[in-house]
Homo-oligomer: A and B are copies of this chain.
Amino acid sequence: MNPITTDPLDRIRYPIDEWALVETEYVPEEQGVAESIFAVGNGYIGMRGNYTEGRGGVSYGTYVNGFHETWPIRHAEDAFGFAKVGQTIVNAPDAKVIRLYVDDEPLIMEEADILRHTRRLEFRDGFLLRETEWSTPSGKRVLIRMRRLVSFTDRHLAVVDYEVTVLDADASVLLSSQVLNRQDGADEYHSRSVIPATQFDPRRAETFTERVLLPRLKRTHGSRSLLGYQASSSGMTICVGVEHRLETENAWDEQSQIDDDLAKHVFRVQAKRGKPVRLIKTITYHTSRGVPARELADRCDRTLDRAKYVPVEDIVAQQRAWLDDFWARSDVEIAGHPDIQQAVRWNLFQLAQATARTDGHGIAAKGVTGSGYGGHYFWDMEIYVLPFLSYTAPIVARNALRFRYNMLPAARDRARELNQRGALFPWRTINGQESSAYYAAGTAQYHIDADIAHALMQYVHASGDTEFLKRGAIDVLIETARLWEDLGFWRSNGDQKFHIDGVTGPDEYTTVVDDNLYTNVMARANLWSAVNACRQLQADDPVEFERMIRRTGLDVNEIGDWERAAEAMEIPFDPHRGIHPQDAQFLDKELWDLEATPESKRPLLLHYHPLVIYRFQVLKQADVVLALFLQGHEFTPAEKRRDFEYYDALTTGDSTLSAVVQSIIAAEVGYHELAEKYFLTALYVDLANLHGNTTDGVHVASTGGIWSALVSGFGGMRDHGGRMTFNPRLPQSWERLTYRITVRGSRLRVDLEQDCMRFTVETGDGARVWVHNEEFIVTPAEPTVVSLVHQGPRMSGHTPTTSDIQGTLRADGSVITASIPTISLQRNVEQDASGS
Contacts and interface: CB of A to CB of B under 8 A. Distances in A.
Interface of A: 73-83, 86, 200, 202, 417-419, 436-440, 442-444, 489, 491-494, 499, 501-502, 511-512, 514, 584-585, 587-591, 605-612, 614-615, 806, 809-810, 812-813
Most B CB contacts (10 A, CB to CB) among A73, A611, A812 go to A611
A608 B419 contact: yes
A587 to B, nearest CB: 8
Given A492-B591, A809-B492, A438 B77 contact: yes
A409 to B, nearest CB: 19
A605 B438 contact: no
B438 A609 contact: no
A514 B609 contact: no
B609 A443 contact: yes
A405 B737 CA distance: 68
Contact of A608 (B76, B80, B436): B80
Contacts of A436: 77
The count of identical subunits is 2
Contact of A588 (B80, B200, B443, B584): B584
A444 B611 contact: yes
Sorted nearest first, the 7 A-B pairs with minimum C-beta distance are: A76-B437, A81-B609, A502-B615, A77-B438, A492-B809, A77-B437, A489-B590
A594 to B, nearest CB: 15
A806 B606 CA distance: 44
Most B CB contacts (10 A, CB to CB) among A442, A610, A810 go to A610
Contact of A590 (B417, B501, B606): B501
Contacts of A608: 80-81, 419
A500 to B, nearest CB: 9
A196 to B, nearest CB: 16
A299 B614 CA distance: 51
Contacts of A494: 812-813
A614 B502 contact: yes
B512 A417 contact: no
B79 A585 contact: no
A609 B439 contact: yes
Contacts of A611: 81, 418, 439, 443-444, 502, 512
A501 B611 CA distance: 10
A200 B489 CA distance: 30
Nearest to A438: B77
B78 A501 contact: no
17 contacts: A74-B76, A75-B438, A76-B86, A76-B437, A76-B438, A79-B202, A80-B605, A80-B607, A80-B610, A81-B611, A82-B609, A419-B608, A439-B611, A491-B588, A492-B810, A502-B614, A514-B589
Most B CB contacts (10 A, CB to CB) among A77, A82, A512 go to A77
A267 to B, nearest CB: 46
B609 A806 contact: no
A443 B614 CA distance: 14
Given A492-B806, A501-B589, A514-B588, A78 B813 contact: no
B612 A419 contact: yes
A501 B615 CA distance: 6
Most B CB contacts (10 A, CB to CB) among A489, A492, A585 go to A492
A600 to B, nearest CB: 14
B419 A79 contact: no
A467 to B, nearest CB: 37
A596 to B, nearest CB: 13
A812 B492 CA distance: 9
Contacts of A80: 200, 605-610
A589 B606 CA distance: 32
A456 B189 CA distance: 60
A78 B200 contact: yes
